[in-house]
């Protein structure tokens, strides 16, 4: 469980930062939100996360576009059923293509674009905890990821702390390559390389 959670959390953080570096207006909005709610004289705390809707929208949009496990975990049909006209017999092993579900243009306008604002407006009521089947990066039902709460807290705290404490740019201010590797975990082909510099007082880093 520790290996699975650390792997998927790090992958999500890499994709989130890659998306923000390619969409600097979203990065600036996140920094402004953190400056307003947290300020420049203390570190981000876990209790702050509930007051950071734009940061949470960034995480949701990252999980929508780049779910850490794009095929989810295998499930088994418990009964005979028909889905979209296809007969699925009891005992069939099922793999959900989350990548396809999360980019369905019938549900997500301009589905391939990074738009965190959709989770503050048109898709405000959609969550990632398995109740909205158009967005299920952690699965759904009795066998959904048991570490969902921890994953969201760690991802929010880590991403928010980095955005709050550092100005981050790519070498030469070049765009980040978003090519994906093939595998059970949704990794980037090329590693993310960045340059960082402090943006808060020195005592925050101690």
How confident is the model over 163-192, as pLDDT tens digits?
999 999 999 999 999 999 987 788 999 999
- Say if residue 6's pLDDT is above 80: no
pLDDT average, residue stretch 109-124:
96
- Contact status, residue 38 vs residue 50, Cβ threshold 8 Å: no
Question: What is residue 75's three-state secondary structure?
Answer: strand
- Contact status, residue 58 vs residue 159, Cβ threshold 8 Å: yes
| CA proximity to 112, closest of 191, 22, 184 | 22
Question: How many other CB atoms are there within 10 angstroms of residue 95's CB atom?
Answer: 11
145 is in an annotated binding site: yes
Question: What is residue 46's three-state secondary structure?
Answer: helix
CA 147 to chain centre: 14
CATH number assigned to the domain comprising residue 29: 1.10.630.10
pTM (global) more than 0.75:
yes
**C-alpha torsion angle, residues 13, 124, 33, 24 (rounded to 10):** 60
Q: How many domains does the chain have?
A: 1
Q: Could you give the CA distance from residue 148 to residue 145 in angstroms, rounded to a whole number?
A: 6
Domain limits for position 33: 2-205
């Amino acid at each position: 469980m520790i290996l699975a959670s650390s792997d998927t959390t790090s992958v999500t953080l890499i994709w989130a930062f890659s998306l923000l570096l390619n969409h600097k207006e979203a990065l600036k909005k996140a920094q402004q939100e953190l400056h307003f709610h947290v300020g420049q004289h203390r570190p981000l705390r876990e209790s702050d996360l509930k007051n950071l809707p734009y940061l949470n929208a960034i995480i949701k949009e990252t999980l929508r576009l780049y779910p850490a496990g794009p095929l989810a975990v295998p499930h088994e049909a418990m009964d005979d059923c028909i889905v979209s006209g296809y007969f699925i017999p009891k005992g069939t092993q099922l793999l959900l293509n989350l990548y396809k579900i999360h980019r369905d243009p019938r549900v997500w306008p301009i589905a391939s674009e990074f738009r965190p604002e959709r989770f503050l407006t048109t898709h405000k009521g959609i969550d990632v905890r398995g109740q909205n089947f158009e967005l299920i990066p952690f699965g759904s039902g009795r066998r959904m990821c048991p570490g969902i709460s921890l994953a969201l807290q760690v991802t929010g705290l880590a991403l928010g702390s980095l955005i709050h404490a550092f100005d981050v740019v790519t070498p030469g201010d070049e765009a980040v390559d978003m090519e994906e590797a093939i595998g059970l975990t949704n990794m980037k082909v090329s590693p993310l390389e960045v340059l960082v510099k402090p943006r808060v007082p020195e005592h925050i880093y101690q």
